[in-house]
Amino acid sequence: MSAGVTIRGMRLDEIPLVVEWAAREGWNPGLEDGRAFAAADAGGFLCAMRGEEMLACVTAVKTGPDFGFIGFYIARPDIRGQGIGFALWQAAMERLAGRCIGLDGVVEQQANYRRIGFNFAWNNARYQAEAPAFPGWGDVAIQDAAAVDFAALTAFDAEAFGTPRPDFMRGWITTPGHRARVAWGPSGIIGFAVLRPCREGSKLAPLFAVDAAVARALIADLAPYRAPGPFILDLPEPHGQAVALAQEMGLQKVFETARMYTREPPSMKRERIFGLTSFELG
């Protein structure tokens, strides 16, 4: 690594710069992602610095007792090839040592990730459209997430995500601009969705539902509140019903990622994932 470069935890006031870098990379982050992601694990934001100048960044966010996720791995174009990004990557891996670590990487880098201990699990993909054909409501009861028992909501989220993440959830459903909704059935919570404004348009992230009918109802409820621009769903490609729903709305696949883990993936009800929460945090 170049002389004079140090690696440290990021200050909260530096996180907006990382989100700006992500926007420049074309990742279209949410307008308030920094605030919500810091709530998940403020110590998980790492940066490589030369004096007061940030050169590269990565997140290594701890979730629960034995899981972590790597994201926001960006090196400034002018410093690439100097070993700075790799040193930062090593610091991220050290921070999550002993945990199952996940990431969403570009498909072309799968071989490189395999060499450093990650195994392919499935592909995720982004679907979007400027003018979707939103589904009808259906016979599903829906209410604001703030009115729901928080423990029950985090338990439902954990079944789909794979591990409890109450700190993140608390921030995610209360972040300014986010609209969080819950679907109810006779047995309790049967769906959960958050619409969040992004640099361009809006993402439905997550969209967790016990079946496609519930997913449709949540989409119909939140669609009127989307920001101008593309409507976006990131979803697991092997989930046929989720892909079919996206295509039914006229969403087009624009890119895909490789979901990879260092161990067996956390136990999750992947059939409930009609929309991922984030490529950066899983």
pLDDT tens by residue, 159-189: 999 999 999 999 999 999 999 999 999 999 9
Q: What DSSP state is assigned to residue 251?
A: -
Cβ burial 38-73 (10 Å sphere, 16+ → b, else e): bbbbeebbbbbbeeeebbbbbbbbbbbeebbbbbbb
CATH of the domain at 50: 3.40.630.30
Are 65 and 139 found together in one domain? no
Do 109 and 31 have their domain in common?
A: yes
Query: Is 158 found in the same domain as 241?
Result: yes
Which of 108, 124, 140 is at the close of a domain?
Answer: 124
Pair of tokens at residue 28: 């279209």
Boundary (domain end) residue, out of 124, 146, 171: 124
Same-domain check for residues 96 and 235: no
The 10s digit of each residue's pLDDT in 38-77 is 888 989 999 999 999 999 999 999 998 999 999 999 999 8
Residues 149 and 77 in one domain: no
Give the burial string for 210-242 (b: 16+ CB within 10 Å, else e): bebebbbbbbbbbbeebbeebbbbbbbeebeeb
pLDDT reported for residue 214: 96
Residue 2 has pLDDT above 70, yes or no: no
Q: Where are the alpha helices (DSSP H) in the chain?
A: 15-24, 33-40, 84-95, 110-115, 150-161, 166-174, 212-222, 240-248
When pLDDT is cut at 50, 70 and 90, the band that residue 37 belongs to is confident
Residue 47's closest CA among 7, 85, 87, 84? 7
Is the domain of 117 the same as that of 153? no
| Residues 137/138/140/143 CA torsion (nearest 10 deg) | 10
Q: Please check whether residue 78 lies inside any domain of the structure.
A: yes
Average pLDDT across the chain, whole number: 93
| Domain at 234, CATH number | 3.40.630.90
Rounded CA separation 52/56 (Å): 12
Strands 100-106 and 67-75: parallel
Same-domain status, 217 and 233: yes
pLDDT band at 272 (very low <50, low <70, confident <90, very high): very high
Do 136 and 237 have their domain in common? yes
Tell me, yes or no, whether 180 and 234 share the same domain. Answer: yes
For 88-115, write each residue's pLDDT tens digit: 999 999 999 999 999 999 888 889 999 9
Residue with the two structure tokens 């209360």? 174
pLDDT digits (tens, 9 = 90+) for 232-259: 999 999 999 999 999 999 999 999 999 9
Structural domain includes residue 260? no
**89 and 163 belong to one structural domain:** no
Is residue 281 assigned to a domain? no
The pLDDT value given to residue 96 = 97
Torsional sign, CA 228, 225, 254, 39: positive
Residue 7 has pLDDT above 90, yes or no: yes
> Residues 6 or more apart from 26 whose CB is under 8 A from it?
none
User: Residue 270's pLDDT is what?
Assistant: 95
Cβ burial, residue 192 (10 Å; 0-12/13-18/19+)? buried
Residues 101 and 159 in one domain: no
Q: Which structural domain, as residue segments, surrounds residue 117?
A: 5-124
Q: Which one-letter DSSP state was computed for residue 253?
A: E
Q: Domain count of the chain?
A: 2
Average pLDDT of span 195-203: 96
Q: Verify that 271 and 142 share a domain, yes or no.
A: yes
Cis amide prior to 206 (ω within 30 degrees): yes
